[in-house]
Amino acid sequence: MATTKVAIAPMKVAQISKAGADFEIVEREIPKPSAGHVLIKVQACGVCHSDVLTKEGAWPGIEYPRVPGHEIAGVIDEVGTGVFSWKKGQRVGVGWHGGQDNTCVSCRRGDFRNCQNLKIPSISYDGGYQQYMLAPVEALAAIPESLSDVEAAPLLCAGITTFNALRHSGAMPGDLVAVQGIGGLGHLGIQFANKFGYRVVAIGRGPENAALAKKLGANVYIDSKSTKAADELQKLGGARVILATAPNSKAMSELIDGLGPNGELMVIGATFDPIEVTPIQLISGSRTIQGWAAGTPADSEDTLRFAELSGVRPMIETYSLEKAAEAYARMMSGNAQFRVVLTM
C-alpha cells in the first residue's frame, strides 16, 4: 500500500513535561485556530516570576506538558472563524488575562479582571515560550507601532501590573509613593510613578541600585539593608502608597509602619508566604493592604500607549527560545537587569 507523507510544519516549543521538570525544547506542528481564536506568530515573550507556577506546578489543575509565558508580543498569523475585529498581520500582545468566560457574576458586572474562570496563558493553555501560539480574541491587546516586540512584551505583565495598580491606588500627583524592590516589576513601577507625578521613593536592598533608581525617576532612595525603611518613610511624612513588588512577605511586612495616614500597601509581588500585620498597625492611620492582579487587554493597551507617550521602557536582557532554561534561571537568580525576554 502506498503511503502519503503529510508535510507538517514544525515549530520550536520550550515546554515543561511535568510539575518540577526542567525545560525541554521540542518540535510540534503549528496549530490551527478554532472559532474565536487567532494563531499568533510569537516574536518575543517575557520571563515572569509567576512562570514558577507552571514550572513547579504551584497552581492547581495545570495539565502537562505545558508551555509557560504570559508576556507575549507577536503578529497574527491566522484568524479562526467568527473573528472579525482582528486581522492577519496585526501586531498583538497577550498578558496574564488570557480570556474571561463572560458569564460569571464578575463578568456580568463588567469586572472581567476578576472573572471567576479567568484563563491564564501558560496555566489554562500554552503560553508564549514557543514560535506560534493560539489565543482567544478576548485576550488580545493591540501593540502600538513605535514599541518593539521586546519592549512591548514585559509591559504586558510587569508593565500593566505596576501601571494599573498605581493608577487605581488612589495616590494623587505630589503624594509620597514608595516602590519596594528594583527588579522586573519595580524598575517599571518607579518609571510609571515618576510619570504619574508622585514624589517617588525607591526601596532596594544595598546601595548598588541607588544611582539607577534615581535615573529611573526616584526622588529618594532608601537602602533597606543599612536603614529601617519604615522609619525613613515616616521621616518623609509617611507613604500614601507602597507598591510592594519583590516577592518577599517579610520585607513587605516590615514596610507597613512606613505608611502615612490612609496609606495603602499595594501588593503585587506574588508569593504564598503570609504578610504579618497587627490590627493596631492597620487601625492607627486607617491603613489598608490591597492586592492587585494585572488587568484586562484594554488595560494592557492603556499601558502600552502610556509607555509610548511617556517614554517608559523596560530594561531587558534577551535570550533565544532555545535558551529558555538559562533565561528562566537568570530571572530566578534575581540578578537580571531587569526583565528577561525570550526572542523566537
Q: Which residues bind Zn ion (CB under 5 A)?
A: 48, 50, 100-101, 104, 107, 115, 157
Helix (H) or strand (E) holding 133: strand 132-136
- Report CA Rg, the chain: 21
Nearer to Zn ion, 271 or 281 (CB): 271
Q: How far is the CB of 242 from Zn ion (least distance, A)?
A: 20
Q: How far is the CB of 100 from Zn ion (least distance, A)?
A: 5
Nearer to Zn ion, 5 or 108 (CB): 108
Nearer to Zn ion, 52 or 222 (CB): 52
CA distance 87 to 92: 10
Nearer to Zn ion, 100 or 191 (CB): 100
Q: How far is the CB of 61 from Zn ion (least distance, A)?
A: 17
Give SS3 for 263. strand
CA distance 72 to 45: 4
CA distance 218 to 200: 5
Q: How far is the CB of 237 from Zn ion (least distance, A)?
A: 32
Q: Quick one: which of 87, 62, 104 has its CA closest to 140? A: 87
Q: How far is the CB of 245 from Zn ion (least distance, A)?
A: 11
Helix axes 297-310, 186-195, angle to 10 degrees: 70
CA distance 215 to 225: 21
Q: Quick one: which of 125, 143, 116, 119 has its CA closest to 44? A: 143
Nearer to Zn ion, 236 or 270 (CB): 270
Q: How far is the CB of 93 from Zn ion (least distance, A)?
A: 13
The answer to whether 245 and 180 have CB atoms below 8 angstroms apart is yes
Nearer to Zn ion, 101 or 254 (CB): 101
